Chains A and B, each alone.
Chain A
Amino acid sequence: SSDFDIHDEL
């Protein structure tokens, strides 16, 4: 799924 709470990529 798309977890947009924390964007872990740069």
Chain B
Amino acid sequence: QEKHRILHKLLQNGN
């Protein structure tokens, strides 16, 4: 998940 920070962040937060 560390490698896929942006995807992780966008899924966790709103857009």
Q: A and B from one assembly? A: no
Question: Contact residues of B with A, CB < 8 Å?
Answer: none
